[in-house]
Amino acid sequence: MQIFKKQKDLNLFLESEREKSNFIALVPTMGGLHDGHLSLVAKAKNLAEIVVVSIFVNPTQFARGEDFDDYPNTFENDKFLLESKKIDVLFIPSKEEIYPHGTESDYKVGAIGQILCGAFRPSHFDGVAQVVKRFFEIVKPNYAVFGEKDFQQLLIIKSLVKNLHLDIKIDSMPTQREHDGLAMSTRNQYLSDIDRERAPHFYSVLIATRDLILGGKAISEAREMATNSLSKSFEVEYFDVLNANNLTQIETKTSEIIIISAIRFGGTRLIDNLVFRRKNV
């Protein structure tokens, strides 16, 4: 595994690989790696000859009062995990490498970035799009792999590629879960022992809501029941049932459905979702 801190050094290496007709896959991360990230790495290795993993905690996607300064730094363990997976490149740029001309951006996500998580973190998705766009400019990958736990982010990145006419294939991996159903997340490290015991209730409510809808319960009733159940243990930011293709309201013909939610408890914010299909639509 080669480690690069400078764009110019990374570009020299990648250009030599392109000359060999090798495809390049990018897995952007903020570190704090876990098995969810490693599933993205495994997917990338299946897609391309050269896998680039980046670790960069992006300041533009954090609002004032969020955990930018406290975001988990587990670099030595991250490096060990990536070496064990035999990736080709670890890219660990500075803020100056990513934003040499400052952090102003001319790309706006639009309406999809203002709902759900975007309603509670208004500048978040513009910051995500900004940094992903920069990594695409630097690495010029053939493929990029993201997790489906951040489903709204995944749709926004697909939209970015389409809007900018980029020749990059966006691939994804299903949410990886702990044995009790809790979605793997770097921020799970923030949970106290007591909160960790409570956290799996989040996913169990998603499962129960899906089963109610498939059993014929009206979506509005199922959503209300779920919100009431979660509110007994957590602060519910949002809980919605939407069209999984575009996060719009469900219509009679909608078959691909996503149950998507964010909660807070014990000072920690968790997100999760569940995608499923309705039959006979």
**What residues act catalytically?**
37
Contact between residue 89 and residue 1 where contact means Cβ atoms under 8 Å apart: yes
With b for 16 or more beta-carbon neighbours within 10 A and e for fewer, the 49-60 pattern comes to ebbbbbbbbbeb
Q: Do 31 and 58 touch, CB atoms closer than 8 A? A: no
User: How far is residue 246's CA from residue 122's CA, in Å, rounded to a whole number?
Assistant: 19
Cβ contact 278:257 at 8 Å: yes
Token representation of residue 239: 């809980």
HSE on the CB side for 113, CA within 13 Å? 21
The pair of structure tokens assigned to 103 is 């952090």
Q: How many C-beta atoms surround the C-beta of residue 135 within 10 A?
A: 20
Distances (CA, A) of 71 to 7, 8, 38, 126, 246: 24, 27, 19, 19, 30
